[in-house]
Amino acid sequence: MERDVRQLINLKDANLFEKFIKLLAGRVGQIINYQSLASDVGVDSKTVKQWLSAHGEPV
């Protein structure tokens, strides 16, 4: 599954993506603030939007 996820979203750093998933889980039920989430993860907001996209393309 990890390989599939890497290919789907062109994942370069699995540790950052894991951090992203954990932070995202803690924000269930909230409106997504891409900039805040990106800052907490340590990536650009465009990356967060890409990770949230079903096809790995920017939202």
Condensed to tens digits (0 to 9), the pLDDT of residues 5-46 reads 555 556 777 788 889 999 999 999 999 999 999 999 999 999
pTM (predicted TM-score)? 0.71
- Type of residue found at 51: W
**Residue 13 pLDDT:** 78
**Residue 19 pLDDT:** 93
- Type of residue found at 34: Y
Token duo for residue 58: 């920017």
- The residues near 9 (Cβ < 8 Å, ≥ 6 apart) are 17, 50, 51, 53, 56
C-alpha distances in Å from residue 53, one per residue of 4, 28: 15, 17
Please state, in angstroms and rounded to a whole number, the distance separating the CA atoms of residues 1 and 34: 25
Confirm if 48 and 39 have CB atoms less than 8 A apart.
Answer: no
